[in-house]
């Protein structure tokens, strides 16, 4: 199985090279598709300074369009069998790919979510952020009839053929509830596995905020009630 690891990046000059090294250190046949979403902090210049590589494709968005738009640009270049979504901020550890892939490789799942709330080690941080994540997951579950514990997780791993069965349109963080709603309706077999989570605070560059949480409620309703 060949992995297609899609990494949306926006203003992560302090972490992007370390993340790239960690992804490359994983022991799988893979292609890395890194999408710079209009970075302005020097990330883009760092990426342009990388030498040619057979395992890496860098896509440059013309401006900051959001995580969903960056992922779609990456998905359009996927040639592997399994897609892994990976953030560039070091909150999620590529060393855990093996656990994420196991249900798919055992032909038990089509999609695997890495859950931060299933007893994996995690940094103790941001109580209200955790409450918001759980509330959004609950609301999503009410409409999808799934029993996920972490709908908003970055780690979503799935068979590449699923991209031909669903249509994604949200540009920003609406990707998470949209993807969940669409794979639910597509009848995909979904698993969750526990992951570690090394969360960062806003001083360290965390981007998602309360406005994104309010928007997520809208996207949950949009892609479940008004589809």
Any long-range contacts for 52-60 (C-beta under 8 Å, 24+ apart)?
A: 55/24, 55/30, 55/31, 56/20, 56/31, 56/32, 57/31, 57/32, 57/33, 58/34, 59/33, 59/34, 59/35, 60/36
CA 66 to centroid of chain Cα atoms: 12
Q: Given this model, what pLDDT does residue 211 score?
A: 77
Q: Provide the CATH number for the domain around residue 89.
A: 3.90.550.10
CB 74 within 8 A of CB 167: no
Q: pTM for the complete prediction?
A: 0.93
Cβ count within 10 A of residue 182? 19
Taking the chain (227 residues) in runs of 10, the rounded mean pLDDT of each run is 97 97 97 98 96 94 96 98 97 97 98 90 70 93 97 97 97 95 97 89 58 87 88
Q: Given this model, what pLDDT does residue 146 score?
A: 98
How many residues in total does the chain contain?
A: 227
Q: How far apart, in whole angstroms, are the C-alpha atoms of residue 208 and residue 206?
A: 6
Number of structural domains (the chain) is 1
Q: Is 184 exposed, middle or buried (0-12, 13-18, 19+ CB in 10 A)?
A: buried
Q: In terms of residue numbers, what domain contains 196?
A: 3-224
- The helix, strand and coil proportions of the chain, stated in percent and rounded to the nearest 5, come to 40, 15, 45
Q: Sheet containing 156-159: which strands, arranged edge to edge?
A: 56-60, 30-36, 3-9, 82-85, 156-159, 111-115, 190-194
């Amino acid at each position: 199985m060949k992995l297609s690891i899609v990494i949306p990046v926006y203003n992560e000059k302090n972490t992007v090279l370390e993340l790239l090294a960690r992804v490359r250190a994983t022991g799988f046949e893979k292609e890395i598709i890194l999408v710079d979403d209009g970075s302005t902090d020097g990330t883009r210049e760092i990426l342009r300074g990388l030498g040619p590589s057979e395992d890496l494709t860098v896509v440059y968005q013309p401006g900051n369009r959001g995580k969903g738009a960056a992922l779609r640009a990456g998905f359009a270049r996927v040639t592997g069998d399994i897609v892994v979504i990976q953030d560039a901020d070091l909150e999620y550890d590529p060393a855990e790919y093996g656990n994420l892939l196991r249900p798919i490789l055992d032909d038990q799942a089509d999609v695997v979510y890495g859950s931060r709330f299933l007893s994996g080690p995690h940094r103790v941080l941001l109580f209200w952020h955790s409450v918001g994540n759980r509330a959004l997951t609950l609301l999503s579950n009410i409409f999808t009839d799934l029993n996920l514990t972490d709908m908003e997780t970055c780690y979503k791993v799935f068979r590449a053929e699923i991209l031909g069965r669903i249509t994604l349109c949200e540009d920003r963080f609406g990707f998470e509830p949209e993807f969940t709603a669409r794979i639910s309706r597509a009848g995909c077999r979904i698993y969750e596995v526990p992951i570690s989570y090394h969360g960062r605070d806003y001083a360290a560059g965390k981007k998602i905020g309360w406005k994104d949480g309010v928007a997520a409620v809208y996207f949950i309703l949009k892609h479940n009630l008004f589809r």
